[in-house]
Each structure stands twice: as structure tokens, then as C-alpha cells.
Structure 1
Amino acid sequence: MMSGVEEAPKAVAVLNSSETTNSSSSEDVATLVVATAPATQRPAGKIDVLIQGVALFSDGYNIQIIGYMNTVLAKLYPKQMTAEVKTRLSNSILIGDVFGMLFFGLCIDRFGRRVGIILTTLFLVFGIILATVSHGTTVEGMFWMMVIGRGVAGVGAGGEYTVCTSQALECADSTPEMRKRRGMLVAVSTNAAIISGFVASSIVSLIVIAAYGGEPSDGIWRICFGIGIVVSKYSKSSSSRPPPFTDPDTQLPLSIFLFRMRLSDSEQYQKHAIQRKVPYRLAIKFYWKALLGCCSAWFLYDFVVYPFNLLAPTVVTGFSKNQSMTESIGWSALINFFALPGSFIGALLMDRIGRRQTYALGWSIVCVFGFVIGGAMVPLQHVFPLFVVFYALFQTFLSVGPGDCNFLVSSESFPTPLRGHFLGFAAAVGKAGAAIGTTALSKALASFDDKVKGQQVIFLIGSAISVVGTLCAPAHLEDEDVRFRNYLEENGYDTSDMGLQAPKVAS
């Protein structure tokens, strides 16, 4: 249903393309036709790109929800909920992300996008269930079960980053019309979807807390974690019958698993896949500079954005000793919401002014607001609404530039047969940056008895990182599949086996 599958006429285009000229016999050509032309499927369209965002929406919800639940847990267990435990809970899903990105990056290139999609959903659901039912003979034991559960969910969520971004890019490259808007389509289905999940987590938190009368309860965090399994519904189309497994009463991400059982691999993957004798040495020699640039860019972005998202409730609480739990989460939710319009602004800019220019623009404005907030933190203590506005704009432009561009550039810069490898590695380095940044900035904030000084320091650190980020904007590359194939042929690699191989038809 989704992602890059084509009708029989597509096979004709494949046969006529330059990629298939490497077939040395009519038998090889017949094999390629069989492999790439399922006659009952339709070509990829815009909906196939955007639907990738459904899974990433769920991932965003499950990553961000702990930032709000830390506030609830701190009130329930003030002695046990130390800064170390809070950081451990925040980082567990990020560490799981790293493993998921690396493992599933390899998996989807070797065995196909569809295999990765199914497995990531299983990991995500199982991990959320473990975290939701966390128990222990001690509070510390309960926290450890929660950490393990969210780590398992992180493996699935990290895999989704690699799978969905690859699928979104490959579907967006299916037609000349979509290719012109590839930046916008991929940004909306990746970064905007994840941020929407962040926003949904804040709304759900506020509703559940209100249902408990604003008082802390174990029921709050269990419900909010559990809603990660059933966080949203598909909307029913009035113009056509919904596809199988997408009935409006089916929930996410369980429904994602059932829906994705019908997926086929993208057209690009079917044409260019390398499932054996992977030329790792040649690939690293050819792409190490692009990989270094993407890793650096993603590390710096996640080092800043994740701590400032997760620490938002803690930061705004520091402005008043009398803030209720609802007020603290409400203000931080408002701040994080402003990243959402930023993701759409960046999506519109990338295809117009270019990826690199959008990236640098976003980081530059983040530098300005970060230094303003850090430098003026003392007077801002007396004008809380102005602090919220500045903090919100700080989040907006993080999303405009590196937030949107990292997904797109890190997937465009590498060829289809190894996209999962390189994209997964770059994203994993980013999540390592998120874990390191969350740990470093949390300790910096907690090391000051004067909360104002602590807040000032973390904004100045974030701004300094933003300056470096402006200098590390990765380049945008085009036509990687053709370039990579030509490079392999020039270096003596046999490209005739590239693409999915179907059983040969007897003459």
C-alpha cells in the first residue's frame, strides 16, 4: 500500500533506464522485470511519503512523554527521584535509539525496508508495555524496570527513524513532480511528525493530570505511557474505502504493524539493493566526508534540542517556587509547541533557498536567541512571559534549520543500497549527542544552588554549540544511486547483481 511500489508499466521504465544496462543477457532482464513489477500494486504518491510520519509521530510522543512524567515522578518520589535517576530515565530511550538505528540501518539494506518496519513496531510496542506496567519491591527497582522498558522501546523508535526516513525519501523521489518538492515532503513526514508527537505528549499529559485533579498519582504516568500504544487514530476518508487494517477504530502503533504487513520495498530499493558482497571499503572511501559532515551536524543538533525539550518543565519551574504541576507542564508545552511551526517553515524554505542555506539560517538565529536569553537571564526572571517568547523562538529556529535538514540531507547524501547503513549511523551519533547533552546540561543545571545561574549557563552552552553547528552545515548531494554505481564499476565491482533477484524463469 505505502512506499514506493509500482505497477507493471514501471518495469518498462526500469528496463529502459541506465541502471539496467548492466544486465548481460535477456535472462537477467527477465529476472529484473519479475523482481520490480508487481502488477497489482500502484505507484508511490504523496500519501506514501506522508504516511511515514504516522510512525514517527508515535515515536515523538514516546520520547518526549518522559520529560513531563519526570515532573510527576519527582512529586511522587522526591527522595528516590534524584537528578541521576531523572537523567537515566530520559536517556534510556535515547540509548535504545542508538542501538535501533545501527541495527535496523544494517537490516533494512540487507533484508529490505519491509522487514525493518515490522520488527521496529514489535520492539516499540513491547517496550512501551514493559514501561507502563513497571513494578518492583522497591521504588528503585520500579525505576530500573521503567528504564529497561523505555530502552527496549527506544530500539524500535530508533529503527523507525532509519526505516521511515529512507522510505519517505525514496517515495518522494518516485516522480519528477514530487522530486521538486522532496524537501518539503520529507521534512513534513519526519521532523514535523516527530514534533507533532512531542506536542501530543504535552496535551495528553495535561488532560490526564487534570483528570486526577492536578494531584500526582501513579495512575498519571502509567496512563500516559500506555497511551503511547494507542496514541491516535487514523482518520477515515470520505472519498474512498479505507485500506485493510486502517479502520478508524484501529490504534497506533499496533495498527501501524497490521497496516505495514502489506508493504513492499520501494522502487529504488528493488532496483539498486545490494544484498550480498557489500562493497564496504569502496563505500567508506567514497562517502567518508559526507558521513563525517552528517554525523557532526546531527550530533550538535541533538546535543542542544533534546536537553532543552526534556528540561523545559524543570527550567520553567525555576521561575516560581509556587508553580503547580499543571502550570509547569503547561508552560513547557507551550514552549515546545513553537517548534512545530518552525518545522513547516523549514520545509517550505529548503526547496526554495536550498538545504545548506536553510540549515545555516536556523542555527544562526538560534545563536542570537540563546545568547540573549543567557545574557539577560537575571532581568528575564521578572518578565516571565518574555522569557517564554524567547525560549519558544529558540525552539522554533532549531526546527527550521537543523531539525528539518538533518533528516533530508542525511538520507539524500547516500545511495539507496547503503542508505540505511549511513543514515542509521549518522542518526545514532546524533542520539549519542542527545544522551551526552542531556547528561551534561542536567548536571550543569543541578550544580548551581542559584537556579538562575544554572539556567543562564545551559543557555550559553547551547548557544556556543549553535555557533559550531552553523559552521558544520552538510552539503546536499544529488543522483547518488547513479554516482555510486558508476564509482563501483570504475573500481572493478560487478554491479550486475544489484537489485532484488527473483527466481529465474525457465525458457
Structure 2
Amino acid sequence: MSDDYDSDRKTATVTNPTVINESLTNSTEANNNNNDTTVGTITARSSITTVLVSGVALFSDGYNAQIIGYMNLVLAKLYPVTFTSIIKTRLSNAYLIGEIFGMLFFGCAIDRLGRRTGIIFATLFLVLGIVLATAAHGKGGSELGMFWMMIIGRGVSGFGAGGEYPTCGTGSAEASDETSFGRRRRGMLVAVATDFAIDFGFVIAGVVALIVLAAYHQNLNDGIWRVCFGLGFVLPVALLFFRLNRFQSTQYRKHAMKKDIPYMLVLKRYWKPMLGTSLAWFMYDFVTYPFGIFSSSIVSTLNPNNTITQNIGYGTVINLFYLPGCLTGGLLMDRIGRKQTMTLGFVLWAILGFIIGGALGPIQSVFPLFVVLYGIFNALGEMGPGVATFLCGAESFPTPLRGHFLGLAAAVGKAGAAIGTQVFTPIQNSFSDDQKGIQGVFLIGAAFAATGGLISWFLIPTMDKDMETEDERFRAYLEENGYTGTFGDLTA
């Protein structure tokens, strides 16, 4: 019944939608009448806190995801025999694989158990994994054992970080819907609280790595990577207090479906946007994660001086370009629309990727030019799919199942990131020289970006400004198909 979904979204309003659980609605109205002032105060405070905390939480996730890219350079120098390309790839992928499972698990959990419950447990897993990775040791001093302990710790922390994506994505989107200003500026608010925050974490990871290296006077030892990993522990612990006091959004309290979810009816209605948001996120992460994580490695291949400090510094400069890309994308989403911004970003991303890949020889001869173009390449990815994936995944679906679908789309995206990271180095190494290897990955990345543009234009719907509208359509659709379940979570 996907045709019903498409036709419904073209209708500006829903005419007299029938409330499925009448007794629940009556009690909700009575509660609102008796406590209007209190609820209004809670909503305003909750909205501000949710957006801020979501941004800081995803900043922490960005730091923990990116720091391994910089530490790869350190680990390769410290353990040249044990730190093989296989260990390097597994260590980089452990976090991503953990994120996939975390996104799927917590995406379902936050719809059934509540946003607050999900985020608390996600934080606990994240902190546990960071502690395990930081304290990693092998039996009898075995370097291989140490790396496997590190891989396990990164996987556990990735599971917790994966839970942050659906919880923070749904939380920031729903919080922005609490006020008319938030609805008008949701594109910018969600962009800042999600992708901008993650990318800022990428940048700070490079800054922290440089500071720690300077503190050790460039003398490499295992204290460098342990300090860098361990610092990722600070923010999640500091945020836990705020999350314990976090309120559920008004939309979740009103529309939650905690049991008897009619999944077949849901899939019949939402299969097309589910496919579009998931595949677009896959294409985006397949390109952006390896180009972000391995930016320092790419720079080290082309950098004529090739020192660790310079390579991390150049990698950080490249990641700085993410930030203006995110802000530009946030503005565009509010001006021209979500899917339009995503498509535009994919197309421009692909064009520049083909240019860099096709003309790498002359570009690389002026190394600062390569760094700038590489940075703009990253910025274009963030301007479109980077910021739009979160919001498209949140707005395309109703509140009762927003966590399910946002978690699924994010998980498919991270599968793309894991695959991209897994094949990135082998693709590079399959060419006769390093320059041709980098040229090849840019051209392949551009082809995936172009495919993402087609997916976003044809499969992702045009979103309504008011998220409540789709909730009403969803209720009416279920009632028309004989559903008699209940909505709402007054105890949340």
C-alpha cells in the first residue's frame, strides 16, 4: 500500500483522523488540562537539553570513531611486526561493526522502552568499551593478544556508540518539533546536533593526538594511544547525569506503541522511504568513512616529508572542511528541502571526486592544492548526505517507529562504512603504485556518490515541516486496516 503513503504525503492535512485508543486520548487531554503549565515548562527545558546533550554525545562518538585513524600511524611505528594490514583493518572495523549491532538493537529498544532508557544503557556500553580498549594487554605481554583485547573493547564501545545514533537522531528531531521556531529551523538544529557534532569530534581527535604527541616530545610509546583512547571516556561519563534526568519528548508520550506493532502493515506503507534512506546512508558512509579515517594515511603516501606529526596535522586540516559543509547543508535543508539538499550534495561530491581522481598527478604536484581539494571533497559530502541522512531518517517515519527505521538506516549506513573501510586498503594496494591506488579509490568513491544521488532523488520522499502530520496519517492508516492497538506513554 505504498501508493497510499505517497498520496497521503501530498495532502497537507488529515481530515478528522480517528483516535484509536479513545480512553487513552481522554486521559491525555485531562492530564494536559490539569497540568498545562507544568508540561509546558518541562517541554521547553527538555527541548533545549535534548538538542544540546545529543550534540555533545555525538561529538564524543565522532572523537572515539576518528581517534583510531590517527593512532594507526602510531601503532604502525610501535608494533611494526604485529600491526599488519589485517590487524589495522580489524581494529578500524571493530567500532563500526559494534555500531551496526548497537543501531539495530537500540533503534527498536527506544521505541518500546523509551528514549531515556535507551540512551542510558548505550552510554554504559560506550564507557565499558573505552575502558577495555584503553587498558588492553596481552597475556604474557603478547602484542597480538593486546590487539585482540583492543579490538574487543572497540567493538563494545561501538555497540554503545551505535545506540547514540537513533536515540540522539530521534531526540533532536522530536525536540526541535516542540516549538514553531524549531520546526522552521529543524534542518540547521539537527545538522548541528548530529553531523556537525560528529565531525567536530573528528577534528578534536586530531588536535588531541597532536597535543599528546607534543606532551611526549614526539617520543613514541604505548602511553600515547592509551591516553588518546582514554580521553574518550570523559564526556560520556559527564553526560550520564543529564541523561538520567532527561524527559521523553511530547511526541513520544503521545504516540508511543510499546506492544502489538503491526510490522506487516508498517512495511507495506513505508518500504520505499525505508529503502531510500537506508541505501542513501550506505552510499554516503561507504565513501566518507574510509576517506575520513584514512585521511592521514593518504596524506602520508603523498606527503614528501612524511612525519607522523605532519600527517596527523594535514589529516586534521582536511577534516576541518567537514564543518562548513555541515552548516551549509543545514541552511540548504531549511531553504530548498531535505532530499533536494541530499541529492545536490551527492552530485557535487561525485563531480569533484572524478576531477581529483582523473587529474591526481598534476594536483598532487602542488601538495597544498591536493589538501584543499581533498577537504572540499569531504565538505561536499557533509553538505548533502552527511546532514540530510539523519533528518530524512527521522522525518520520513512516524514517531512510534522512528527509532526502528532510523536505527535500521544508520545500521545499513555503517555496514557501508565497514565494507568501505575493509576494501579501501586492498583496493589501494592492488594498483602498481601508490598514486594510482589513491586515484582508483577517488574514482570508485565518486561512482558510489553518483549512485547515491539517484537513490535520494527517486526513493526519498519530500518531508512535511510538521512531524505530527505523519503521525496522524499513520494512525488513520492503521485504523482503516483494522488495527485496534494502543498509543501513548503517559508514564514516560
**TM-score, scaled relative to structure 1:** 0.88
Secondary structure at the aligned position of 1:290 is classed as helix
CA distance in 1, matches of 2:407, 2:17: 25
2:7 corresponds to: none
CA spacing shift, 1:146–1:257, aligned 2, 3 Å: same
Is 2:478 the counterpart of 1:488? Answer: yes
Which of the numbers 350, 362, 382 marks the counterpart of 1:367? 350
Structure 1, gaps ≥5 residues long: 1-16, 231-251
Pair 1:358-2:362 in alignment: no
**Residue 170 of structure 1 aligns with which residue?**
174
Paired residue total: 464
Is 1:386 aligned with 2:347?
no
1:65 matches 2:62: no
Instruction: Show the counterpart of 2:26.
Output: 29
- Cα distance in 1, alignment partners of residues 490 and 215 from structure 2: 56
In the alignment, does 2:190 pair up with 1:193? no
What code does the residue aligned with 1:406 have?
T
Give the Å deviation of 1:378. Answer: 1.8
Partner SS, residue 441 of structure 1: helix
Aligned to 1:467: 450
Aligned-pair distance for 1:34? 4.4
1:256 to 230, 239, 261: 239
Distance 2:158 2:444 in 1: 27
- Any idea what the Cα deviations from partners look like across 1:221-243, whole Å, max 9, x if unmatched? 0000000012xxxxxxxxxxxxx
Would you say the 8 A contact 2:18–2:479 is kept in 1?
no
Alignment partner, residue 127 of structure 2: 125
Task: State the SS of the aligned residue for 1:477.
Answer: coil
In 2, Cα distance between the equivalents of 1:253 and 1:346?
Answer: 27
Query: Of 158, 163, 169, which aligns to 2:162?
Result: 158
Contact preservation (8 Å) 2:18, 2:476: no
**Is the CA contact (8 Å cut-off) linking 1:204 and 1:224 kept in structure 2?**
yes
Shift of 1:320: 3.6
How big is the shift at 1:49?
A: 2.2
> Compared with structure 1, are the counterparts of its residues 136 and 19 closer, same or farther at alpha carbon in structure 2 (3 Å cutoff)?
farther
Match of 1:216? 220
Question: Aligned to 2:107, which of 105, 108, 124?
Answer: 105
1:270-313 C-alpha deviation (Å, 9 max, x unpaired):
00000111111110110001100001100000000000001111
Cα contact 2:207–2:316 (8 A) shared by 1 = yes
> Counterparts in 2 of 1:64-463, with a 5 A limit?
64-137=66-139, 138-230=142-234, 252-320=235-303, 322-463=305-446
- Residue 483 of structure 1, CA deviation: 1.3
Could you say what the CA RMSD is over the residues aligned between the two structures, in angstroms? 1.9
Match of 1:50? 52
Q: Is the Cα–Cα contact under 8 Å of residues 412 and 476 in structure 1 kept in the other structure?
A: no
* Letter matched to residue 164 of structure 1: C
Compute the displacement of 1:455 (Å). 0.6
- Residue of structure 1 in register with 2:462 after alignment: 476
Say whether the 8 Å CA contact 2:53–2:239 is kept in structure 1.
no
Secondary structure of 2:365's partner?
coil
Counterpart amino acid of 1:409?
C
Q: Hey, what's the Cα distance between the residues in 1 that align with 2:255 and 2:349?
A: 39
Distance 1:370 1:305 in 2: 12
Q: Distance in 1 between matches of 2:56 and 2:397?
A: 24
Name the SS of the counterpart of 2:302 in structure 1.
coil
Give unpaired runs (5+ residues) of structure 2. 1-14
Aligned to 2:5: none
Change beyond 3 A, Cα 1:450–1:219: same
> 1:446 and 1:32, CA in 2 relative to 1: closer, same or farther beyond 3 A?
farther
1:3 corresponds to which residue?
Answer: none
- Aligned counterparts of 1:127 and 1:200: Cα–Cα separation in 2: 20
Alpha-carbon distance, 1:189 to partner: 0.5
| Matched letter for residue 288 of structure 1 | W
Q: Deviations over 1:385-424 (max 9, x none)?
A: 1101110100010000000000000110010001111110
Contact 1:97 1:158 in 2 (8 A): yes
CA distance in 1, matches of 2:32, 2:266: 25
CA separation in 2, counterparts of 1:412 and 1:132?
A: 38
Give per-residue Cα distances to partners, 1:112-156, cap 9 Å, x unaligned. 001001101100000000000000031111110000001000011
| Counterparts of 1:268 and 1:62, CA distance in 2 | 31
| One-letter identity of the residue aligned with 1:196 | F
Q: Which residue identity does 1:83 align to in structure 2?
A: S
Give yes or no for contact 1:96–1:151 (8 Å, CA) kept in 2. yes
More helix by share: 2
Query: Partners of 2:220 and 2:32 in 1: how far apart?
Result: 56
TM superposition shift of 1:54: 0.9
> Residue type matched to 1:311 in 2?
F
Encode CA deviations 1:334-377: one digit per residue, 9 max, x unaligned. Answer: 01110111000100111101112211211121112111111111
What secondary structure, in the 3-state scheme, does the structure 2 residue paired with 1:498 have? coil
Structure-2 separation of matches of 1:35 and 1:445: 60
Aligned to 1:8: none
Q: Deviations over 1:170-197 (max 9, x none)?
A: 1111122211111111111001110011
Q: Cα gap change, 1:23/1:356 in structure 2, threshold over 3 Å: closer, same or farther?
A: closer
Q: Hey, what's the Cα distance between the residues in 2 that align with 1:35 and 1:160?
A: 30
Counterpart amino acid of residue 494 in structure 1 = T
